[in-house]
Amino acid sequence: MAIRANPKLIEELEPYGAEDVMKCYHCGNCSAVCPFSADPYVFPRKPMRYLQMGLEDKLKGQLDPWLCYYCGECSDQCPREAEPGETMMSLRRWLTSKYDWTGISRLFYRSWRWELGAIVLVAILTAIGFTLFGMSQGSIAHYDGPDAFLPSASIHIFDWVLAGVLLTFLLSNAARMWWFTMGRDKDLPTTLGSYITSAWMLPAHFFTQVRYSKCEHKRSWATHLALMLSYVTMLVLIMFFLTRMASGPEIDWSVHVAGYFATAGLLLGTALFLRNRVKRSSAQYRHSHESDWIFLVLILIVATTGILQHILHRSGLDVAANVAYIVHLSLVVPMLALEVPFSKWSHLAYRPLAMYLAQVRATALARARSGEATALRPGAERTQAHAA
Amino acid sequence: MTERRIGVYVCNCGTNIANVVDCDAVAEAAQSLPGVAVSRSYKYMCSNPGQEMIVQDIREEGLDRVVVAACSPRMHEPTFRRAAEMAGLNPYLVQMANIREQCSWVHDPGETATDKAKDLVRAAVYRAACHEPLERMAVEMCPDTLVIGGGIAGMSAALELADAGNRVYLVERTASLGGNVARVDLTAPYLDSARDMIVDRVTRVVEHPNVDVLLESELERLDGFVGNFKATLVRRSSGEAPPRQVVDVGSVVVCTGYKEFDAARVTHFGYGKLPDVITSFEFEQMLKQGRIELKDGRLPQYVAIVHCVGSRSEEFHGYCSRVCCMTALKYAHEVKSALPKAYVSDVYVDMHAFGKGCEDFYRRSAEVKTLFLMYGKGERPVVRRADPGDDCEMLLTVDEQLSGELIELPADLIILMVGMEPRDDAGQVAHLVNISQDKDGWFIESHPKLDPVATTTDGVYIAGACQSPKDIPDSVAQARAAAARILGKISRGKLEIDAMYAEVDEDLCSGCRVCNEICPYSAIEFDEEKRRSHVISALCKACGACVATCPSAAIKARHFTDAQIFAEITGVLA
Ligand code: SF4
Ligand code: SF4
C-alpha cells in the first residue's frame, strides 16, 4: 500500500522549530556521524525524510527522536545547513504534543504566549490560594511553629496531591507514547518477558544518562546530569523531609547540606545552559525555542526564591521569608504542573522510556528476523534436494 | 629498378624496443638489403640528435629514401617527414616500420621478435624503394559561410563570422529566428529572460549588413569541397515554383537544433488524457502568458514536476537531455514566486546540476521548500485521478528511493520534463552535407574531445543541440568555436590538401560509375560529357574503397599504389 505524502505537514512542524528540514538532500553525512544512530534506529536522515514528505503516521511511531541527545555533530557536518539536530529536537517537541491528549502541549509549543500566560495564571492563582490559606491558618509573622503562615504538614499534603495530578497526566501521555510506537503495531512480536528483562534500563538511563556520555563533548552530559541529580535530590528532600527542611531557624545539617548542594547544582546548571544559549556556543545551543528559555528561567527563579526564603527564615526575617515562600510556591506549582506533563520537562519520562522501548522493539525485530530465517529453511532444503 | 640510396634507422626507444628486439642485429641485417646505403641503430630517433642524424645522412650520403623502424607512424611520421623535408628530400619518400606497438610491446624478448622486426624493416625498405615524390595541393578558400538554422547557435555563429567582415547566409526553415530558446520564458540558473537574449540577437542578425537572412528556406543541394562549396538554397513558402539561388561558400555550419520528445509516447503519465498533465514547453507557454492555472481556470495548490520523460530510459532514449533538471528547478522557483501558497514537488531520478552556478541553484530550490522525491531509473511514477474526498486532482505514485517507501503524491498540475530528440529531418540534413549520425540520430563530430565542432567532411561544422542535447551556454560556445575554426581558414587564404588521394586514369575508366556510389565521402563526380568518373581530391580521404572496387583497375591511390603494396608484401615474406 502506498503511503500518502502530505506536503503540508512541514508547515505544522515549523512552529516547533523545524525550519530548515527542506534543505536536506539526503547525503547521509548526519546519520554517519551520529554516535547514537545504529540499526534499527537510523537517524537523523530518515526521520527528516519522513518529515519532508509529511508521513505523519510513520513519525508518530518513531522512537528515534528520543534516542538523540542533540550533541549537534550532525548539524556541524551537514553540507546543506539543514540543521538535522534541531529537526530532531523539533520532532521531540511535536511528539510531546502528539502524546499529550489534552492538547495543552500543542498550545504551548505553538505559541509561547499561551505557555507564559498559563504559567502566570497558575502562579497568580497559587499565590492567592496560599495567601488566603495562610491567613486562615496562622500569621504572616511566623514562618514555623504552631502559628506558621504555611505549615509544612499542609504543604506536604499539597505536594503529594500535586505529584499525583501531574503523574496522572504524564503517565497517561506515556501510555499513548507506548501505543503509538509499540502497541498498535500488530506485527511486532513483543513478549512480556522482554518487557521485564529490559526494565532495568528505565532507572539506569534515568539516573545515569549513560548514553549521553557517548557524545564527543562530555561537558554537556556532565552539566545535564548534575542538573538532573540536583533536581532529584531536591525532590526527594521536599517529598520526604519537608518538615525537617522547613524547621528552624537553626540549620539542620543532616538535610540542609544536601539541599545546599542541590541548590548550587540547580543554579549553576541553569546558569551554564542559559549562558550557552545566549552565546549560541555550539550547534545544540544555536536555535533556542521559546519553550527552552521559559523552562530554564523558571528553574532558575524557583531555585533563587527557594534559597532566598531559606536565608530569610534563618535570618529571623519571618515576614519576608513567608513572602518569598509564597512567590516560590507560586512558581513551583506551574513549573511542575505545566512543564512536566505538557512541555520540555516531559522528556524526563519520554527519553528513558524510549530507550527502554527501543530495546524491547529491537529484540522483537531480531526475533522476527530469525523466525523468518527458520521459516525459509525447509524451502531451502527442498531446493537442495532437487539439486542433488 | 634504378639504384636507390636508402637510409635505415632502427630506434631503440630507450628500452621500449631494445629490451625485446636486438636493434643492432636488425640494423646490421638491413645493411645488406638492396639499395640500402646506410643503416644505423640509435637510442631515440625522434630526439633532436636522432633527427639530425637523418638530415646529415641525406645531405652527406645522398640518400633518396628513408626508412625509420620505430613506433607507430601515428606518433612520429610527421616528425621524420619534417626532418626529410629539412634536408631537401620530399617528405613522402619516408617510410616507417612499426617495431614497437606491432613487435616489442606484444612479444617476449628473443630471436623471434628480432626476426619479426627484420621482416618489418625489409618490407619497409622494399616499399620505400617504390615511393614517389608527391606534392600537396593548395585550393582557394571562399570567405563566405552558410549557416543552417536560425536558433541561438546559428545566430551566434553568424554574428561571429559577420562581425569579422565575412558574408554569411543564414538559412532558417520557419518564418522567424530564435529557435527553441524563443519558446522559453526565463533561463536557469540565473533566471534571466530568454526573450531579452533572443530579441537582442535577432535584431543584430537582421540588421547586420554582412548577414543574409533567408527565412522559410532550406538547403537543397551542396556540391564542391572545403573552401569551394556551391549551395543551392530554396525558399519554401511560395507555392509551385520556389525560387532557388546558388551561393558560393567556403564553409557550412549546421545548427539545426532539436525537437522535444512527444510525451504521449509514455502512457503512465496520462498525457493527452488528463487535462492538467502538461509538457515543459506547454508550461513555458503558460509562464510567458503570465498565469499558472489549471484547464478549468483554477489555481493549482499542488504542482508536481517529473524529470527524465523520454530521457535516460531503456524504452526511449538512453541519453540525458542535460537541460531538464535545471529547467525543472527553474519551474520550482517560478511557481513559488507566482503562487507562494502552492506546494511544489520535484520528482527526479538523479539531479544533474553540473553547470556553472547550478549546484547553488539546486540548493536555493530546496530553500524555497521544494519537496524532492527520487524515483528509480527504469521505473516510472504512475498518475491517476484522485478520489472525490481528496484535496487534489491527481495522485502520483512514486517508488521513493530516499525513503524506500511507496509514496502517493498529491498533484493538481503535473509538468513533464520532456527530453530532446534529433529533428525528424536530421537524416536528410546529414545526407545533404555529408556528415554522419550516431545511433540516436545526433550528428557526429570529428573527435569527441579534441575536435568537437568539426566533422569528417572538411569545411562542414556542427554546433548546438543538433550534435547532442545542450544548454544555451554550450551551444553558443560551440557556435563561436565553429566560427573560430572558419575564421582561421579564411585568414590563411589558401588551404593545403594532403597529397594522398585517389586518381582516376581516364583512359582506363569505362564510366561504369560503381565507384560513385561506393565512396563514403561522396568524393567522386561523374563527368557527363566525358562519361568518365573523377575524384575531387579535396574531398578524398584516401580510404582506398574505390581503388579496390573499380572493375577496370582505373583508380590509383597516391602513396598506396599496387606496386608499393606488392613490394611491401614481397619484402615481408622474403
Ligand atoms: S547531513 Fe544534512 S543534507 Fe545530509 S542527509 Fe543529513 S541533514 Fe540531510
Ligand atoms: S544531535 Fe547528535 S544524537 Fe542527535 S541526531 Fe544529531 S548527531 Fe545524533
Neighbours of A337 (CB within 10 A): 19
Residues A185 and A66 in one domain: no
Are A5 and B369 in contact (CB < 8 Å)? no
Residue B58, all three cell numbers: 641525406
Q: What's the mean pLDDT in A136-144?
A: 85
Domain count, chain A: 2
Residues B466 and B522 in one domain: no
What pLDDT digit, counting tens, does each position of A289-321 carry? 999 999 999 999 999 999 999 999 988 898 999
Residues B414 and B267 in one domain: yes
Residue nearest to atom 6 of ligand 1 (CA): A30
Instruction: State which of A51, A68, A99 marks the end of a domain.
Output: A99
Q: Is A367 within a domain? A: no
Q: Is B268 within a domain? A: yes
Rounded to the nearest 5°, which phi and psi values hold at A175? -65, -40
To 5 degrees, how large is the angle CA B165–CA B167–CA B169? 145
Residues A18 and A154 in one domain: no
Are B372 and A25 in contact (CB < 8 Å)? yes
Distance from CA of B335 to the nearest CA of A (A): 15
State how far the Cα of A218 lies from the Cα of A224, in Å rounded to an integer: 10
State how far the Cα of A140 lies from the Cα of A324, in Å rounded to an integer: 11
Residue found under cell 505524502: A5
B386 shares contact with chain A (CB less than 8 Å): no
To 5 degrees, how large is the angle CA B455–CA B149–CA B290? 130
Q: Is B567 within a domain? A: no
Instruction: State which of A41, A68, A99 marks the end of a domain.
Output: A99
Residue A245 confidence class, pLDDT cut points 50, 70, 90: confident
Are B371 and A3 in contact (CB < 8 Å)? no
Domain containing B517 — which CATH number? 3.30.70.20
Tell me what pLDDT residue A218 has. 83
Are A53 and B406 in contact (CB < 8 Å)? no
Q: Is B248 within a domain? A: yes
Q: Are B445 and B453 in contact (CB under 8 A)?
A: yes
DSSP B274: B
State how far the Cα of B35 lies from the Cα of B129, in Å rounded to an integer: 8
Which phi-psi region, left, alpha or beta, contains residue A220 (left: φ > 0; alpha: ψ -120 to 50)? alpha
Higher pLDDT: B144 or A193? It is: B144
Q: What's the mean pLDDT in A123-144?
A: 90
Helices within A148-252 (DSSP H only): 152-178, 192-197, 201-208, 218-246
- Cα of A72 to ligand 2 centre, how many Å? 5
Residue B68 DSSP SS3? strand
Residues B193 and B337 in one domain: no
Residues A14 and A131 in one domain: no
Rounded to the nearest 5°, which phi and psi values hold at B453? -115, -10
Q: What's the mean pLDDT in A205-233?
A: 87
End-to-end CA distance of chain B: 17
Are A50 and B397 in contact (CB < 8 Å)? no
Q: Is A293 within a domain? A: yes
Q: Is A376 within a domain? A: no
State how far the Cα of B27 lies from the Cα of B37, in Å rounded to an integer: 12
Instruction: State which of B107, B134, B161 marks the end of a domain.
Output: B134
Tell me what pLDDT residue A211 has. 84
Residue A274 confidence class, pLDDT cut points 50, 70, 90: very high
Residue among A4, A10, A25 whose CB faces B408 most closely: A4
Instruction: List chain B residues with CB under 8 Å of A24.
Output: 366
Best A8, A11, A26, A52 member to test B by mutation, with max B CBs in 10 Å, is: A52
Residues A125 and A64 in one domain: no
Q: Is A229 within a domain? A: yes
What are B213's strand-pairing partners?
B170
Distance from CA of B369 to the nearest CA of A (A): 5
Instruction: State which of A78, A99, A120 marks the end of a domain.
Output: A99
Q: Name the strands in the sheet holding B413-418, side by side, starting at the edge strand that comes first in the sequence.
A: B277-279, B413-418, B302-309, B343-348, B371-374
Domain containing A55 — which CATH number? 1.10.1060.10
Residues B167 and B288 in one domain: no
Residues B127 and B50 in one domain: yes
Please tell me the number of the ligand nearest to residue A81's CA: 1
Q: Is B284 within a domain? A: yes
Assess whether pLDDT exceeds 60 at residue B127: yes
Are A3 and B366 in contact (CB < 8 Å)? no
Domain containing B33 — which CATH number? 3.40.50
A22 shares contact with chain B (CB less than 8 Å): yes
Residue A139 confidence class, pLDDT cut points 50, 70, 90: confident
Of B346, B500, B318, the closest CA to residue B420 belongs to B318
- Residue of chain A nearest B406, judged by CA positions: A2
Residue A384 confidence class, pLDDT cut points 50, 70, 90: very low
Are B345 and A7 in contact (CB < 8 Å)? yes
Tell me what pLDDT residue A388 has. 36
Tell me what pLDDT residue B379 has. 87
Domain count, chain B: 4
Residue A248 confidence class, pLDDT cut points 50, 70, 90: confident
Tell me what pLDDT residue A342 has. 93
Residues A86 and A225 in one domain: no
Q: Is A370 within a domain? A: no
Residues A122 and A250 in one domain: yes
Q: Is A84 within a domain? A: yes
Residues B347 and B369 in one domain: yes
Please give the residue range of the domain that contains residue B336. 263-419
Best A6, A13, A25, A59 member to test B by mutation, with max B CBs in 10 Å, is: A25
- Cα of A278 to ligand 2 centre, how many Å? 21
Residue among B363, B397, B402 whose CB faces A2 most closely: B397
Instruction: List chain A residues with CB under 8 Å of B367.
Output: 22-23
Share of chain B above pLDDT 90, in %: 91
A13 shares contact with chain B (CB less than 8 Å): no
What pLDDT digit, counting tens, does each position of B45-87 carry? 999 999 999 999 999 999 999 999 999 998 899 999 999 999 9
Residue among B343, B351, B408 whose CB faces A2 most closely: B408
Please give the residue range of the domain that contains residue A75. 9-99
Residues B96 and B162 in one domain: no
To 5 degrees, how large is the angle CA B425–CA B427–CA B431? 120
Burial class (CB in 10 A: 0-12, 13-18, 19+), B25: middle
Q: Per residue in B526-557, is it b (16+ CB within 10 Å) or e — as a string?
A: eeeeeebbbbbbbbbbbbebbbeebeeebbbb
Residues B388 and B326 in one domain: yes
**What is the model's pTM?**
0.83
Residue B478, all three cell numbers: 560551440
Q: Is B139 within a domain? A: no
Q: In chain B, which among 289-348 make CB contacts under 8 A with chain A?
A: 302, 343, 345
B399 shares contact with chain A (CB less than 8 Å): no
Mutate-to-test residue for ligand 2 from A51, A68, A351, A355, highest number of ligand atoms within 8 A of CB: A68
Domain containing B454 — which CATH number? 3.50.50.60
Q: Which atom of ligand 2 is nearest to the CA of A34?
A: 7
State how far the Cα of B69 lies from the Cα of B23, in Å rounded to an integer: 10
What are B374's strand-pairing partners?
B348
A43 shares contact with chain B (CB less than 8 Å): no
State how far the Cα of B513 lies from the Cα of B525, in Å rounded to an integer: 9
- The pocket around ligand 1, CB under 6 angstroms, is made up of A 24-30, 45, 48, 77-80, 82, 84
Residues B71 and B116 in one domain: yes
Are B403 and A5 in contact (CB < 8 Å)? no
Residue among A4, A23, A55 whose CB faces B367 most closely: A23
Tell me what pLDDT residue A375 has. 55
B370 shares contact with chain A (CB less than 8 Å): yes
- B232-236, B423-427, B535-539 — which is least confidently predicted? B535-539
Residue found under cell 550528428: B443
Residues B280 and B377 in one domain: yes
Of B476, B487, B453, the closest CA to residue B151 belongs to B476
Mutate-to-test residue for ligand 1 from A68, A80, A88, A89, highest number of ligand atoms within 8 A of CB: A80
Query: What residue ranges in B271-404 does DSSP mark as E strands?
Result: 277-279, 302-309, 343-348, 371-374, 382-385, 394-400
Range with the largest mean pLDDT of A186-200, B392-406, B494-508: B392-406
Pairing of strands B211-214, B168-171: parallel
Residues A40 and A155 in one domain: no
Neighbours of A229 (CB within 10 A): 17
| Secondary structure in 3-state letters for A245-297 | HHCCCCCCHHHHHHHHHHHHHHHHHHHHHHHHHHHCCCHHHHCCCHHHHHHHH
Residues A93 and A188 in one domain: no
A24 shares contact with chain B (CB less than 8 Å): yes
Residues B414 and B291 in one domain: yes
Residues B241 and B290 in one domain: no
Residue B518, all three cell numbers: 561506393
Instruction: List chain A residues with CB under 8 Å of B345.
Output: 5, 7
| ipTM of model | 0.87
Of B436, B391, B397, B442, the closest CA to residue B412 belongs to B391
Four-residue CA torsion sign, B256, B258, B264, B265: positive
Residue A382 confidence class, pLDDT cut points 50, 70, 90: very low
Mutate-to-test residue for ligand 2 from A36, A49, A87, A221, highest number of ligand atoms within 8 A of CB: A36
Are A4 and B410 in contact (CB < 8 Å)? yes
Distance from CA of B250 to the nearest CA of A (A): 52
Instruction: State which of B360, B385, B419 marks the end of a domain.
Output: B419
Pairing of strands B6-11, B65-70: parallel
Q: Which atom of ligand 1 is nearest to the CA of A81?
A: 2
- The pocket around ligand 2, CB under 6 angstroms, is made up of A 34, 36-37, 43-44, 68-74, 84-85, 88
Tell me what pLDDT residue A383 has. 41
Neighbours of B448 (CB within 10 A): 10
Instruction: State which of B419, B452, B476 marks the end of a domain.
Output: B419
Tell me what pLDDT residue A270 has. 94
Tell me what pLDDT residue B497 has. 82
State how far the Cα of B514 lies from the Cα of B518, in Å rounded to an integer: 7
Pairing of strands B36-42, B420-422: unpaired
Return the H-helix or E-strand segment holding B129: helix B111-129
Residues A119 and A37 in one domain: no
Residue nearest to atom 3 of ligand 2 (CA): A68
Are A49 and B402 in contact (CB < 8 Å)? yes
Residues A120 and A82 in one domain: no
Residue B132 DSSP SS3? coil
State how far the Cα of B453 lies from the Cα of B253, in Å rounded to an integer: 9
Residues A150 and A177 in one domain: yes
State how far the Cα of B213 lies from the Cα of B219, in Å rounded to an integer: 13
Residues A55 and A161 in one domain: no
State how far the Cα of A45 lies from the Cα of B121, in Å rounded to an integer: 68
Are B367 and A4 in contact (CB < 8 Å)? no
- Residue of chain A nearest B302, judged by CA positions: A7
Best A22, A51, A59 member to test B by mutation, with max B CBs in 10 Å, is: A22
Residue A258, all three cell numbers: 544536601
Residue among B371, B372, B407 whose CB faces A3 most closely: B407
What pLDDT digit, counting tens, does each position of B193-228 carry? 999 999 999 999 999 999 999 999 999 999 988 999
Q: Are B347 and B304 in contact (CB under 8 A)?
A: yes
